[in-house]
Amino acid sequence: MQPPAEIWITDTTFRDGQQSRPPFSAKHIVDLYEMLHRLGGPEGKIRFSEFFLYTDKDREAATRCLEKGYRYPEVTGWIRANKKDFRFVKKMGLKETGILCSVSDYHIFNKLQKTRRQAIDSYLGIVRAALEEGIVPRCHLEDITRADFYGFVVPLVQELMKLSAESGIPVKIRACDTLGYGVTYPGASIPRSVKGLIYGLVRHANVPSECLEWHGHNDFYKVLINATTAWLYGCCGANGALLGIGERTGNTPVEALVFEYIGLRGSTDGMDTRVITEIARYFEDEIGYQIPPNQPFVGRDFNLTRAGIHADGLSKDEEIYNIFDTDKVLNRPPQVAITDKSGLAGIAHWINQKFKLTGDNRLDKQHPGIAKINEAIMMEYDAGRTTSVSEEELIGWVQNFLPKLLSSE
């Protein structure tokens, strides 16, 4: 392992993320960009955000984000390796753009229908055009985990690094695990080995760590561990999208990278993790996107328990069953859903939390009113009920069996 002195997160919500769902409106993009800025904090731990530039709506959104004047996340573009596309970058006045540079033979021969030499010449041509304009190119090495690493990728990247040295402008490299084939296992061979790819790009292709970025997909459930491994083996940037949205199975969730960063570095370094909850609610309430309820950090039920034994533990010491202080870190106190499995402890915990009962005012699971509510609930399930008990039903039972709680509100 050779982790860089500094690591950061980059965002593709408005590029790859938009490929997985109906397009965002310009307002959605601007609002989410604002939240990304707050989440990343003043040190810019979310360093860049990339935008499509092909439609009027996307260009409007990028312009409105640029007008905010934030240093972080920096607004960057994305284009195909086509000089015609470059006009959008120039017109927007962007300092950096992604350029699609497919590197596997599947793409070179079957999609682009070029030889390897023709592909390299095409990529170098568009990169030269960017450098001539003083724009930083970020070369997306598409499908790197199926590419001939030493026969094609390293020679291409070495040429790109020569152009960078000649121009004095950084040429960035994004290693794209387009189909999620990357693995972290000891002894895994290139091009599948994430460790080997990052090591090779740094040591053999001479890419500075600060110019190297990992972009993964989740086809085999390895998207987060692969991004983390890239960080640990010399890559400064890990690319992700909010909630993990993205083509097919999605990209690395930005919120997961936030917590992975904190775990590795031992500090938030200015990131405001509470914004993650705002982002999740915005996706659901404003955009209409359905987050799986058990999705870590952002799902509505991610820190909810239905087990009575867990609720009993929570009522005694929250650390027993809550992953961290979710109220402090995410503005999400732990919850208990009431079912036939909740027991007396679950009901007591729900009531104490709902009515903000603390100290001597907290109700113990031995309270007779709790027992009566539990008896009423079990009668429902004995009669064939299969759904969770709603808040309205519970408040009704509290009114019947613990009326003093409602009268004291």
- 293 part of a folded domain: no
| Same-domain pairing of 124 and 194 | yes
Total domains, the chain:
2
pLDDT in tens, 190-242: 999 999 999 999 999 999 999 999 999 999 999 999 999 999 999 999 999 99
Shared domain for 389 and 252, answered yes or no, is no
Same domain, 78 and 216: yes
Is 299 within the bounds of a domain? no
Q: What is the CATH number of the domain that holds 108?
A: 3.20.20.70
Average pLDDT, the chain: 93
- Of 228, 260, 287, which residue is a domain's last? 287
On whether both 229 and 310 belong to a single domain, the answer is no
Residue 287 vs residue 319, higher pLDDT: 287
Phi/psi region, residue 244 (left: phi>0; alpha: psi -120 to 50; beta: rest), is left
* CA pair distance 262, 293, nearest whole angstrom: 24
Q: Mind listing the pLDDT tens digit for each residue in 119-130?
A: 999 999 999 999
CB atoms within 10 A of CB 160: 25
What is the total residue count of the chain? 409
Q: Are residues 280 and 356 in the same domain?
A: no
Domain that holds residue 50: 8-287
CA distance 252 to 244: 5
Is 383 inside any structural domain?
yes
Structure tokens at 257: 């990278």
* DSSP class per residue in 54-120: SSHHHHHHHHHHHHTT-SSSEEEEEE-S-TTTHHHHHHHT-SEEEEEEE-BHIIIIIIS---HHHHH
Cα 92 to Cα 368: distance, rounded to the nearest angstrom? 68
- Note whether residue 119 is domain-resident: yes
Statement to judge: residues 310 and 282 lie in one domain: no
Contact 81, 100 (CB under 8 A): yes
Residue 409, pLDDT above cutoff 60: no
- Within-domain flag for 3: no
In terms of domains, do 40 and 175 share one?
yes
Which pLDDT value is given to residue 350? 81
Question: How confident is the model over 31-70, as pLDDT tens digits?
Answer: 999 999 999 999 999 999 999 998 899 999 999 999 999 9
Residues 53 and 180 in one domain: yes
